[in-house]
Amino acid sequence: MVMKQMFKYIVGLALTLVVSDAWAWNGVGHDVISVLATERLTPEAKKQVEKILGGDILSNAQWLNTLKKGETTAHTKYWHNVTLDSSCRPTMKDDNDGLVQLERNIEILNNRTSHSDAEVKTALCTVIHLVQDLHCIAHIRFEDKPEQHNFSFYRPYKGRTDNIKKCPKMTWYKMWAKWYFDMHAGFSTEMFANEIRLIQGKNFEKYASGTPREWVEDMGRESRPILEVVKPDQIANDAYLLNHEVTHERCVAKAAVRLAVVLNEIFR
């Protein structure tokens, strides 16, 4: 196991310089979650999902990201986040909330015979994307900690923490959406998916229980303790950050399992 971890980090460090910004949660992360979720679909759900999409989940998982650039659809950029109160309960205060949009589009799919084919496809693509995004810690917001929603902090420079000007700057989003994936930069989508199966597979059935609201609360409990420790503009400890790679992998696993749960329930 030690040699395996060393190999992963050596490969990741060697290739980090050639990894583009696309290598992030909205890239390889969505791909890995899509592959793992597809494996857990029932034959009937898989058949119906691919008929509506005109393809597989993997090819459609990032559709919602493309809307951010449209003049009339730019407002959808806010849908990717969910806001919780200090007790990790979703506030669901307006239409910009990711959980509000997730539940709304699940309802469209549950009543799909009353909607056009285009509306159903849009709803399905939205559900696929939001179940994934709401399991990324970077998309979890706390209303009592607005200053830490997209804050910056620093990593040690060659193990030194005495001069913040020399330390690499990090952001909360980059940490959860990019940095942990960069450590596996040499992995293909299938290799990363296999890593999740190996490490988290024994917990898949446990992750399958609950509802979207309960899943969001679960993600709040995942993220809040970490948010309490890593503060804006501080120098974080690399060892501490590396210890949370398992949290990152757990979130990817939960997203995949729960996406399959939602789709299997809708397309029974």
Beta carbons of 65 and 122 less than 8 angstroms apart: no
Angstrom distances, CA of residue 146 to CA of 83, 125, 143, 151, 153: 10, 29, 6, 9, 15
Looking at residue 58, its amino acid is: L
pLDDT by residue for the chain (268 residues), tens digit each? 444 444 444 344 333 333 333 333 558 899 999 999 999 999 999 999 999 999 999 999 888 888 877 766 778 888 999 999 999 999 999 999 999 999 999 999 999 999 999 999 999 999 999 999 999 999 999 999 887 777 899 988 888 888 888 898 988 888 888 888 888 888 899 999 999 999 999 999 999 999 999 999 999 999 999 888 888 888 888 788 888 999 999 999 999 999 999 999 999 9
CA neighbor of 179 nearest in space, from 18, 23, 33:
23
Strands 169-171 and 82-84, sheet pairing? unpaired
Helix (H) or strand (E) holding 90: none
Which CATH number do you get for residue 31?
1.10.575.10
- Number of domains the chain contains: 1
Token representation of residue 200: 């988290």
Which range of residues forms the domain containing residue 50? Answer: 2-266
pTM: 0.87
CA neighbor of 142 nearest in space, from 220, 234, 244:
220
Angstrom distances, CA of residue 155 to CA of 169, 181, 188, 210: 7, 17, 27, 36
Question: How far, in Å, CA of 251 to CA of 129, rounded?
Answer: 14
Can you give the pLDDT at residue 243?
A: 87
Question: How far, in Å, CA of 24 to CA of 180, rounded?
Answer: 9
